[in-house]
Structure 1
Amino acid sequence: MPVKDPVCGMEIEPASAFATRQAKGQTYHFCSENCVKQFDAAPEKYALAVPSATTGVAADASGAVRLELSVRGLSRSGGPALAQALHSVPGVSKVNVNVGSGRAAIEYDPARAKASDFLDAVRAAGFDSAGQTMRLKVSGLYCAECVARIEGALKATPGVIEASMNAATNEVKVEYSPVIGDLNLLTKAVESAGPYKAARAAEASEPELDKEAQSADKEYRSLMRKWWFAAAVGLPTMILSYPNLFPIVRDIFTRGSANLFELGSVMGVGRLAVMIYSGSQFFSGAWQGLKHRAANMHTLIALGISVAWLYS
């Protein structure tokens, strides 16, 4: 089973390690003499910064992040050029290129660079990164801005190279470094962006397609029920809001009469019921946005109808 060099973050086989060291009851494997010397000089520093076995990304005490990329077509002669290209990315503090395994380990400041910057550097040097892809199914989208938020949250995750959201299918395609294939890391990034839920997208099968169709049909029926309720209350309210336009109604609800006041009170309660039932999704969406300190279309609609109801 591959292990990681605590100095450069390179993934190596224990049997092929250049050397090993013992520290704090753990065995550490190294890919080169240079890494051994750095570890021997400050074992405490590197013993605390071993990358996670599931994410492949580790932050040291200074806040720097280590990222490992698999590079296609890497030769011994191309190693220095690749290292120079990666070093040119702002925020990079250390680069280790292993031409034998075809991997490059980078230590960088996540505030100044992101994983996609290193992908661009790899391509500029004439190589290509052998990243892996994962599709996530996302629920809870309610506006066009959701797409940008989800993509931004994923791209800001250390190790994520690219993220592309398809709003039509509610799926996001994530390209990431091969060593950070932790589904929880990616789903948490999506869920941190707003009131969203994410899970690995399964291959489309007949039962799953039927389930999605049933879910869409259920949502459609719910929206239609809300629409009919709003129409049943809203149409009479519109007519009775102008009693002077209708002779019979005008005689019953004369200006300044108790009947007109009672009518206004009843219509106010009816409109409130429409807001609570037919407009519930707008208020819940606005609340979710408020919890994430962000305004959205639901915020605009909820605020608008609330002010209109209070004014009326």
Structure 2
Amino acid sequence: MHAAPAQRSSQSATAARVQLPVSGMSCATCVGRVERALSALPGVTASVNLASNHADVSFDPARVGVTAIVEAVRDAGYEVPHETLELAIAGMTCASCAGRVENALRGVPGVLRASVNLATERASVEGFAGALQIASLVAAVDRAGYGAEPLTGDVESERALAQAEARRARRQLLLLLTAAVLSLPLMLPMFGVMLPGWLALLLATPVQFGFGARFYLAAWRALRARTSNMDLLVALGTSTAYFYSVYLLLVAPGAHGYFEASALVITLVLAGKWLEARAKRSTTAALRALMTLRPQHARVLRGDAEIELPIAAVALGDVVVVRPGEKLPVDGIVRRGHSDVDESLISGESMPVAKSVGERVTGGALNGGGLLHIETTAVGAESTLARIIALVEHAQAGKAPVQRAVDRVAAV
């Protein structure tokens, strides 16, 4: 008697919901066609809004997936656009780590493609608009044993990430130098200066379990994910050398141990990590330099008054006032005034270029000694500077064929 209500309650508890943008609808008939196509899927209820061009879909993930829902919309003659999200990934140490993050992201419903770049520690995820959820992507990366944070493209967010990276770099350098100070005396027996076993133990122990703790933590995350990585190999190798040396120190005090091997391996790997992090910072320096060229506010003419607005609030056709010495906030056409504009960020030309009424100017360029009134022709992602930044980001996120081959081998 009560089985059916209990079953419906169970299904509603596990139901998922997405809001998909649908392009191509023009009338109520289109709405009905999309709703019928979606409702024909098992476990799916849908409501389509023509005004917002969105489909509100509730479905049972155990019976139907996001891909099947999108295919139903396409079969009805309409499209669900794609979107791309960027994530900052923390905790990767090798190509196999990047492969595991990619596989974790590809397993999230709604994801079409995922690419992880180890050098820049960024992930680019392409999927169906409305179906990609930041929380789901971050949770998938977390389950794989790594950390993730969405990249918004906001200058303040980028500055915070840069400051965090700088602090992490200083900490890595301090750890490396301290580990080196403790490890180098262990090399003295190579030059004929023998160290007491207890002194070697005292020098090697903080290196093994203090500075080497990161390898144990990363190895545990790999084991929890039922896989292996470079950190697991470092932890196993150095632990074997260390504990065997402790055993020799207890049962045969005069025997030669291998404390120097465990400590020096950890120190050398830390040195490699520091050099790798330094190289990563240099790869993103050009991108951050471009971002600093982008002004965050613009002085917009409203009637006879000038109003300062965030750059995101500037619309096409707005007239922007640029005073001498300021950076141009938008791409546009000069409607009033004349000045010399430094456009070296685009052309590389060191000499300023004279600009007068009717000529085009590029956002991010530096105004000379004249007052300019500029009619906005491109804002946001359509501006020249934004497209240059997008190209640099795409180049950094992409992988060469040889890198993809290495990733496949490392994932074995």
Taking structure 2 as the reference length, the TM-score comes to 0.44
Most deviating of 299-308 and 141-150: 141-150
Match status 1:201 vs 2:151: yes
Describe the shift of the 1:117–1:144 C-alpha distance in structure 2 as closer, same or farther (beyond 3 A). Answer: farther
Where do residues 23-102 of structure 1 align in structure 2 (5 Å cutoff)?
A: 49-50=11-12, 56=17, 72-73=23-24
Distance across 2 between alignment mates of 1:50 and 1:94: 10
- After superposition, where does 1:136-175 map in structure 2 within 5 Å? 136-175=87-126
Within the alignment, does 1:292 sit opposite 2:225 as a pair?
yes
Alignment deviations for residues 109-132 of structure 1 (CA, whole Å, 9 cap, x no partner): 869x96568778988999753134
Query: How many angstroms does 1:157 deviate by?
Result: 2.2
Distance verdict in 2 for CA 1:100–1:235, change over 3 Å:
closer
Q: 1:159, 1:177 within 8 Å by CA — same for their partners in 2?
A: yes
Aligned-partner Cα distance in 1 for 2:157–2:48 = 44
**1:269 lines up with 2:202 in the alignment:** yes
Partners of 2:174 and 2:147 in 1: CA distance? 26
Cα displacement (A) at 1:221: 2.1
Code of the residue aligned with 1:197 in structure 2: it is G
The letter for the 2-side match of 1:219 is: R
Matches within 5 A, 1:169-188: 169-180=120-131, 182-188=133-139
Q: Matched residues in 1 for 2:210 and 2:235: separation?
A: 13
* Separation in structure 2 between the aligned mates of residue 236 and residue 193 of structure 1, nearest angstrom: 39
- Return the letter of the residue paired with 1:224: L
Aligned to 1:302: 235
In structure 1, what is the Cα distance between the partners aligned to 2:142 and 2:216?
Answer: 19
Residues 193 and 120 (structure 1), Cα distance of their counterparts in 2 relative to 1, 3 Å cut: farther
Residue identity opposite 2:183 in structure 1: G
Paired position in structure 1 for 2:214: 281
Q: Percent identity?
A: 30
Aligned to 2:327: none
Distance 2:113 2:21 in 1: 15
Relative to structure 1, is the Cα distance of residues 47 and 132 closer, same or farther in structure 2, using a 3 angstrom cutoff?
farther
Structure 2 residues not aligned, in runs of 5+: 245-257, 259-412
Structure 1 gaps, min length 5 = 1-41, 58-67, 244-248, 254-261
CA contact (8 A) 2:14 2:60 kept: no
Equivalent position of 1:257 in the other structure:
none
Q: Please, what is the CA RMSD of the aligned residues? A: 4.4
**TM-score when normalising by structure 1:** 0.56
Partners of 2:66 and 2:131 within 8 A in 1? no
1:180 to 1:225, Cα distance in 2 relative to 1, 3 A: same
CA contact (8 A) 2:17 2:59 kept: no
Residues 127/297 of structure 1: CA separation in 2 closer, same or farther (3 Å cut):
farther
Distance 1:171 1:124, change over 3 A: farther
> What amino acid is the match of 1:56?
R
Query: Displacement, 1:301?
Result: 0.5
For 1:125 and 1:171, the matched residues in 2 are separated by 36
How far off its partner does 1:71 sit? 5.2
**In the alignment, which of 195, 200, 212 is matched to residue 161 of structure 2?**
212
Worse overlay, 158-167 or 289-298: 158-167
How many Å apart are 1:304 and its aligned residue? Answer: 0.7
Separation of aligned partners in 1, 2:98 and 2:67: 18
Q: Shift of the alpha carbon at 1:158? A: 2.5
Question: Quick one: which amino acid aligns to residue 87 of structure 2?
Answer: L
Could you say which residue in structure 2 is the equivalent of 1:14? Answer: none
Check 1:50–1:114 CA distance in 2 against 1; reply closer, same or farther (3 A cut): closer
Aligned match of 1:134: 85
Task: Name the SS for the 2:109 alignment partner.
Answer: coil
Residues 238-290 of structure 1: CA deviation (Å, up to 9, x unaligned): 222563xxxxx4xxx6xxxxxxxx71221122122221233222122112223
Whether the aligned pair in 2 keeps the contact of 1:137 and 1:172 (CA below 8 Å) is yes
The 3-state SS of whatever aligns with 1:174 is: strand
